[in-house]
Structure 1
Amino acid sequence: MKRGAWAEELASIRNASVDGVITPKELRGLGVSASSIVNRCLPDGPWQRLLPGIVLLHNGPPSDRQRMIGALTYGGPGSILTGLAGLVSYGYRSAAPSVAILVPHETRRKPHGFVEVDRTRRMPELTERGYLQVAPVHRCVVDAVRRTKDESLCLDLLVTAVQRGGTSIEELAIELSECTTRGTALPRRQLHKLGKGAHSAAEVEAHELYEASDLPPMHLNRDVLDAAGNVIARPDGWLDDVGLAWEIDSLAHHLSVADHERTMLRRSRMQSHGIVVVSHLPKTVRQSPNVVIRELRAAYELAASRPRPNVRMRVIAGESGAHSVDLTV
């Protein structure tokens, strides 16, 4: 493009950018003078300075994607997304207040504006997400939870990543053991709760409430089998000595007609085998803990008052204390 002709060919400039993000060096290579860049990035101009050395070719709020592209450009070669922004690129969250990037330890780059910079000697293998270079899910999750003191957010990030299959409790535990210890106390505690068998934040809250009661120990998310060894259901909680199931009915997972029908069929199947089933909403567990414990205690007494049904819990190798040991399934 001839110098001076760029103003008539703004489409070419946009095509040379990455989603509207471009460097002054690239603009000068397209014939845009340094003074024109400065003028167009003034407060009333059509462009803006997104970050030092980064221009955004419009003057409105940048999108999450533009902020991530800008952060990677600012970080320089070898930089990759991590934390909440990395999870956004995987589709886990809709927005991130800041953009965290990992850069090689020898790279001298300071945090600026919405960009958090983490210099590290443990650069992970990156994943390409369009124009974005992103750390693996387990690294993104751990880098995100190390930056928060919010217990609910920490637990939600860990649970969501595991539930969606992007990582596992084992991968997260390994990453926590290998990273810096700064900010790891909270996620270690929350991951320990998930390691006990809970599959959701609601189940963790329910289990913590239950552990504070005087009721017998409860098994979490274990298959309950009939006399022939067929799986009846996998309740959220199971008291094997009396054949009692506890269900935490999270509305978020039962909004569709199909989900509701599956829940009702599972409950009916358990009851048809003589299992006492008690259920609570996460909201009830959180707001009325005394009511929940009182109802669980009443359900336990009811279950203990009738003959135990002919069902058994699938036993994990090396475990003891269940009503019957499953040696065939």
Structure 2
Amino acid sequence: MRFQGAQVAAGLMSVLPGAQALLRFSCSQLVVERLDPLVNPGVVGSPHLHQIIGGNAFNATMDPAKLDIPGTATCTTCTFADDFSNYWTAVLFFRARNGTYHRVPQKGNVFFEQAKGGMTVYYTPTLTGGKVTAFKPGFRMIVGDPMERTAAGAAKYRQLTYTCLQNSMTRTGETKNLPPKPCPAGIMANIRFPTCWDGVNLDSPDHASHIAYPTSGTFESGGPCPSTHPVKIPQLFYEVIWDTTAFNDAAADWPTDGSQPFVWSYGDATGYGTHGDYVFGWKGDALQRAMDQNCQNDRCSGLGSQSLQQGNQCTVETTVDEQIDGWLEELPGGMAVTDASGKVIY
């Protein structure tokens, strides 16, 4: 389902007040498995489980010197058919009182309910005018740190948050930690990437040093880029809705001490370690054209599009043979859950 008429205005005001233009579109789930071509290139069975969306060129290695992503991919889960990029995050689990784990399902975002899980992806040009430079072939980046377990440590990632959804349109009350109470319509993870680039490096050893946040304020407030990273890039933003509603009976199912029961696949029960990964794969200059012409939502003149149903059909075969569904004795990969000191909690 596409935005139309009043839905456009209502949707924009609820998610990005003041925005003049943006791409907002759905990407269904491509695959869920333990692969991470940025942090663990070439490893089949990376330490923790990820959910990946985008083009079907995704694989364990994705060497930028050897892989032409839009030239290799034959389909994409995104509704913009020119976007063969890959986007991924960790996976949320529910931990029962008996110590077993169950993967939390995802659901499509508002107006994209027919998507097969996945995410809603945003690319927003500057909100205060001026040129924004689209990502280049070979560009990749990470935001967040799965090792973080404290509010102080997570503070350096300014806009990695959660929304406890009261209904499908809730867009207020963001927190840095996982919500401590049941959320009537699920938990939305909000992952906003830095918006300044050094203008030279398509990647860096930590996949983050070549990008930076504005020196003050945020992208939305028009904060200036630092001199070390002077080039404004689009704000890339993921919304991922985890359908936690099956686990909302706190009296019967949550820990007896009142703590929240959700755990990330990398062993984090706080939420402070949330993170996101990105590998650029738009065809030709499609993304730059979209940024230059101030496109609106999931429609943009000159860009190819496809239906949600078509995107749902794009998949890749899993390469890691393991159980990830049903009730599990441990997190996939045997990942332990740790606290701020690195001590294993369970």
Instruction: Place the TM-score, normalised by the shorter chain, in its bin.
Output: under 0.3
Bigger-Rg structure (1/2): 1
Which one has more relative contact order, counting CA pairs under 8 Å at least 6 apart? 2
The structure carrying a bigger strand percent of its residues is 2
TM-score (norm 2): 0.20
TM-score (norm 1): 0.21
The structure carrying a bigger helix percent of its residues is 1
